[in-house]
Structure 1
């Protein structure tokens, strides 16, 4: 199965961000991809208000993503914001949601581990999800994760135990000393931990386009990558926006799990 990762830089305007989805989805399709992954916060970049744009999975923003996926016959994974369960209370928050839509596929994942670190408090505005999510496409099972989730191996293992041979991580990774190195290290570690392919798709670095970051908001560092179950980087980008492709073969996962049976050897304490 051929997949693509679209490393883009989103802004405040929802329509502009949808145009990015359409542009890169078309490029992915032209490159032969059956599935394209977009970053976290594809609906609106962090550093902007979220409550006023959060909408249900059957709302207009997600509806347009579905139209693009349907027109191109392409599975699209993209980060958006949906209303939280407490959306009618005084402590209103949203959910940080990955939408998955395309031929024969409809799924969503709410980010479980919220980014309350490095001076940013995602939990102030975002309500945590609770359950791992997997979906099937092209004869493969995919697990879902978002950004800070990559620091928690148990989620990736849970996805693998549910049958995932590929883990998708959509991110808007916060910049700072050593942060790009950590992102790259963690993507490779999670692949080896679980003997899965890891599709680590992050927002590009705004600094490469002459844009200054807004405070502590995580606006992306780039370095999206496709990593093999043996931890090899099969395709990658640096900070600038771009599109990469990779061909995923389930037999590579089978080989890895025969040679490195970490899931079978795992012990719970």
Structure 2
């Protein structure tokens, strides 16, 4: 299966960002990819009010992404914001293209490092797996967003639901050690689940924009089921293309066997004092 990761630098203009989606999807199609991944907040970068930008999934922005996917024959997964009904928005992945029409709403919100995403974003509740056509048939692909990558239980649930490729779409914050954490977490989640992890982030936006919130650090990568980095990007906009060896991933899942050997624990409360 050939996958493309579109490490773009989103602006605050959804129309301009849509042009980037069209350009990078066309390039992915020309490279023979069946799936192209865009970052979290592709529709509009963080650092500005999101409610005025948000649109429903049948609105003009999502409809235009669908048209790009249909025209190119590539499944597109891109981050957008959707009205939640309570004054907030959902941080959503739109997945659309041949045989695919789905949404994933970010479950774990980024209330960390001094940023409170939950003030303006309503959480999702349900993990999502889509089926994307590969060269040898449909491939189960699990979807995650940014801060989700710090929670291995979500990745384990996606793997239990059959995901062999798990995607992480981020607008990762900058700061000491943050890029290293992003890389380490993507590799760790791959090892946890014996799955391939394709992690696409926003390109670094420059020092001034980086001050307003988690607006990107670059470092997109694909990690094999044993945690090997197969391809990676620098800080600037770039299209990464990677051929994923699903048979190797399946063999890893059989031989390392962390999924089949995993124990289930029952919570029994605090241990009693022996005094």
Give the TM-score band, short-chain normalised: over 0.9
Question: Which stretch has the larger CA shift, 159-168 or 212-221?
Answer: 212-221
Structure with max Cα Rg? 2
Give the equivalent residue in structure 1 for 2:235: 239
Deviations 1:4-34 (A, max 9, x none): 0000100100100000101111111111111
Q: Is the 8 A contact 1:120 1:216 kept in 2?
A: no
Shift of 1:206: 1.1
Structure 1 moving runs of 4+ over 4 Å: none
Give the equivalent residue in structure 1 for 2:272: none
Give the equivalent residue in structure 1 for 2:38: 38
Please give the alpha-carbon distance, in whole angstroms, between the structure 1 residues aligned to 2:261 and 2:180: 29
Give the equivalent residue in structure 1 for 2:140: 141
- Tell me how many residue pairs correspond in the alignment: 261
Matches within 5 A, 1:2-41: 2-41=2-41
Matches within 5 A, 1:98-109: 98-109=93-104
Q: Is the 8 A contact 1:119 1:216 kept in 2?
A: no
Give the equivalent residue in structure 2 for 1:188: 187
> What's the TM-score, normalizing by structure 2?
0.93
Give the equivalent residue in structure 2 for 1:168: 167
- Uncovered stretches (5+) of structure 2, i.e. residues with no partner: 266-275
What secondary structure, in the 3-state scheme, does the structure 2 residue paired with 1:148 have?
helix
Deviations 1:115-136 (A, max 9, x none): 0000100001000000100010
- Uncovered stretches (5+) of structure 1, i.e. residues with no partner: 87-91
Give the equivalent residue in structure 2 for 1:115: 110
Give the equivalent residue in structure 2 for 1:129: 124
Please give the alpha-carbon distance, in whole angstroms, between the structure 2 residues aligned to 1:257 and 1:22: 36
Q: Is the 8 A contact 2:174 2:210 kept in 1?
A: no
What secondary structure, in the 3-state scheme, does the structure 1 residue paired with 2:192 have?
helix
Please give the alpha-carbon distance, in whole angstroms, between the structure 2 residues aligned to 1:137 and 1:11: 29
Question: Which stretch has the larger CA shift, 159-168 or 254-263?
Answer: 254-263
Q: Is the 8 A contact 1:10 1:42 kept in 2?
A: yes
Please give the alpha-carbon distance, in whole angstroms, between the structure 2 residues aligned to 1:166 and 1:224: 15
What secondary structure, in the 3-state scheme, does the structure 2 residue paired with 1:221 have?
coil
Matches within 5 A, 1:190-205: 190-205=189-204
Q: Is the 8 A contact 2:210 2:216 kept in 1?
A: no
Please give the alpha-carbon distance, in whole angstroms, between the structure 2 residues aligned to 1:118 and 1:77: 27
Shift of 1:213: 2.3
Please give the alpha-carbon distance, in whole angstroms, between the structure 1 residues aligned to 2:153 and 2:85: 25
Please give the alpha-carbon distance, in whole angstroms, between the structure 2 residues aligned to 1:255 and 1:38: 28
